[in-house]
A = this chain, B = another copy of it.
């Protein structure tokens, strides 16, 4: 029974140990000096343990550099961090003295329920104690553990409240990718339906495994059906980290990248909320672990409630930040702007936690909103500042989690490794992933014009890495036997997937004949960032010049742009509805781009529209809006653009490919609806506009 909001420590308690507060000076000195020396010793140990982690990270950074320098690809940096963590874990486990004596527990009986604060009278002086947690009766003797091992063991809530938020926010903030929005329908299906399917299949399979273990006599304590389902939820969260890094380096296919990245980002959110809902599933009455319809629907309600609530929180703070940055001239002071951005994004987390929603999920949607709206209002310096700030935070947090994982394999005190359960879990994950990818892809392909090919499906099947989120969810509650077994198994699964699958991505890609960027032109090396953008859809600097896309066209990559057009229609109705609303109302209200509200709002709202429209918008109408990297959603006032495009496309005489592509489009457009045509035009505008900009590049080639 663990709600995500349960923990009382917020940002804060990294180490479990906690020292003595200042004693009264008037009391007898000897005793005090002893206590103080103990506290000092404890503080020193805290410093040493944090220092250990910092040295671990430093070592990891240096090795990452060496690997990048030598272009080693068989081991990813996160895998490396885990290996170093493992080594240090072994040293701490077997190298340090087993126990120190001064931490003796004391028992005193009391008849009431536990209090948060306890006052203890020790030879006339009063000491204040705070409740740390309950200890199961069998483990009382384990309390007296190795000191150093205790020091390096963090409170699980640290992962949720300190380390995950920057990782997840960064994922959301760097999500401003056209291909993500084009594949939105499929991504949502994979993330929501897929995770639910995977969770149920893994849960049921594991229940079978548990039943088997009971028969064989391998199970020494209780293991309920809800525990199995929880394990399914925990292990269903695929990790964007490694996928992102490897695909980024290899310049793999854009659509595949968008599908995998989008799925794994939303996945995390779904998995958190799903596990909370499963924890909230508490049948009433005597038979507490049988199926109960009321409790089930309550859980579903909890899922929907938490998810939509967190989504709302994230969106609202994002929108508020966008409004603040739009209507103040804060962009003259990048430091203030960056600080505000950071604080507002952090407040999302706290607000969601304060309201009983899930902070991490709220932070994800806040990141997406910030990238989509606020980013456009920021000054150029603040854009790079915020990006770099969260990049560093994300990098540190991520590598910290992975090295902690390595460490935890040896320093965690309550591991339960059950071979049957572990083998069962590996099989269940494989089957769960298969049952999630292939049927869903089949149904999605029914609706998609650009089908998800078998190769892509195999690759998605293969890329189901588990990482930081699965670990954080599993370590959150390790109080019971079943949870400890789940945690140990999750740890092994993360190790396996990161090392084996992470390392095998490159061979797998080539084996499946998935285009990687090896037929790149020679300009590639020079314009690596541009190339990355148009090939992978990852814009490394988030703000590429519009020429990138036309560059693609000028390469004569005809089939590619055709494919792009088809892909775009894929999630047509949902996408179009959202697009026109976003383009006509949200963008103009929240940013300086888009058509002026005075033209899109009905005339009755004229006054409001004038208030909300800044002078920049009218300026932007005239000039090319080059600062938007998110072409599909930002570009082209639908009616104005059309005229603009035709003029530009015909006006620029040398753009053979662009004109061809336009002609090809015209012949097709008779069969399309008007809106679809207009949407295509938005893309064309980019093409033709870029053509002018890119000429010098063509001349050089």
Q: Considering the chains assembled together, what is the distance between the CA atoms of A35 and B134 in angstroms?
A: 11
A445 at the interface (CB under 8 A from B): no
Q: Considering the chains assembled together, what is the distance between the CA atoms of A510 and B116 in angstroms?
A: 58
Q: How far is the CB of A152 from chain B (nearest CB, A)?
A: 12
Q: Considering the chains assembled together, what is the distance between the CA atoms of A126 and B106 in angstroms?
A: 11
Stretch in contact with the other chain, from A41-49, A587-595, A596-604, A638-646: A41-49
- A129 touches which one: B38, B130, B351 (CB < 8 A)? B130
- Indicate if the CB atoms of A350 and B3 lie closer than 8 Å: no
A300 at the interface (CB under 8 A from B): no
7 tightest A-B CB contacts, nearest first: A8-B19, A21-B133, A47-B354, A129-B129, A12-B14, A8-B42, A105-B119
Chosen A-B contacts, 26 in total, with CB atoms closer than 8 Å, are A5-B40, A10-B15, A20-B114, A21-B132, A22-B134, A23-B134, A47-B350, A48-B350, A51-B347, A58-B340, A61-B336, A61-B343, A108-B110, A109-B120, A111-B122, A113-B122, A113-B123, A117-B143, A118-B120, A119-B140, A126-B134, A126-B137, A127-B133, A128-B143, A335-B395, A338-B388
A652 at the interface (CB under 8 A from B): no
Q: How far is the CB of A463 from chain B (nearest CB, A)?
A: 24
Interface residues of A in 1-57 (CB under 8 A from B): 1-3, 5-15, 17-26, 31-36, 38-40, 42-44, 46-48, 50-51, 54-55, 57
Known: A128-B133, A396-B339. A344 touches B58 (CB 8 A): yes
Q: B residues within 8 A CB of A12?
A: 12-15
- A7 touches which one: B24, B39, B120, B122 (CB < 8 A)? B39
Q: Which of A's residues lie within 8 Å of B, judged by CB?
A: 1-3, 5-15, 17-26, 31-36, 38-40, 42-44, 46-48, 50-51, 54-55, 57-58, 61-62, 64-65, 68-69, 102-137, 140, 143, 222, 324, 328-330, 332-333, 335-336, 338-340, 342-344, 346-347, 350-351, 353-354, 356, 385, 388-389, 391-392, 395-396, 477, 479-480
**Nearest B-chain residue to A16, judged by Cβ:** B130
- Indicate if the CB atoms of A119 and B106 lie closer than 8 Å: yes
- A127 touches which one: B9, B123, B134, B347 (CB < 8 A)? B134
- Indicate if the CB atoms of B113 and A35 lie closer than 8 Å: yes
- Indicate if the CB atoms of A122 and B110 lie closer than 8 Å: yes
What does DSSP make chain A's interface, helix, strand, loop or mixed?
mixed
- Indicate if the CB atoms of A8 and B1 lie closer than 8 Å: no
Q: Considering the chains assembled together, what is the distance between the CA atoms of A391 and B120 in angstroms?
A: 45
Q: Considering the chains assembled together, what is the distance between the CA atoms of A7 and B19 in angstroms?
A: 6
- Indicate if the CB atoms of A23 and B479 lie closer than 8 Å: yes
Q: B residues within 8 A CB of A385?
A: 388, 392
Q: B residues within 8 A CB of A31?
A: 113
Q: How far is the CB of A68 from chain B (nearest CB, A)?
A: 6
Q: How far is the CB of A477 from chain B (nearest CB, A)?
A: 5
Q: B residues within 8 A CB of A324?
A: 62
Q: Considering the chains assembled together, what is the distance between the CA atoms of A243 and B122 in angstroms?
A: 49
Q: B residues within 8 A CB of A39?
A: 6-8
- Indicate if the CB atoms of A132 and B121 lie closer than 8 Å: no
- Indicate if the CB atoms of B129 and A354 lie closer than 8 Å: no
Q: B residues within 8 A CB of A1?
A: 22-23, 25, 32-33, 36
- Indicate if the CB atoms of B102 and A106 lie closer than 8 Å: no
- Indicate if the CB atoms of A102 and B127 lie closer than 8 Å: no
Q: Considering the chains assembled together, what is the distance between the CA atoms of A104 and B115 in angstroms?
A: 7
Q: B residues within 8 A CB of A22?
A: 1-2, 6, 133-134, 477, 479
- Indicate if the CB atoms of B44 and A353 lie closer than 8 Å: yes
- Indicate if the CB atoms of B10 and A116 lie closer than 8 Å: no
Q: Considering the chains assembled together, what is the distance between the CA atoms of A598 and B204 in angstroms?
A: 72
Q: A69-B329, A107-B120 are in contact. List 17 more A-B contacts (CB 8 A).
A: A8-B19, A8-B43, A10-B43, A13-B13, A17-B116, A17-B130, A61-B340, A104-B117, A105-B118, A106-B110, A107-B121, A114-B127, A125-B134, A128-B131, A129-B129, A129-B132, A342-B392
Q: B residues within 8 A CB of A396?
A: 339, 342-343
- Indicate if the CB atoms of A123 and B111 lie closer than 8 Å: yes
Q: How far is the CB of A573 from chain B (nearest CB, A)?
A: 39
Q: Considering the chains assembled together, what is the distance between the CA atoms of A38 and B117 in angstroms?
A: 13
- Indicate if the CB atoms of A132 and B143 lie closer than 8 Å: no
Known: A9-B15, A19-B9, A108-B108. A44 touches B134 (CB 8 A): no
- Indicate if the CB atoms of A128 and B136 lie closer than 8 Å: no
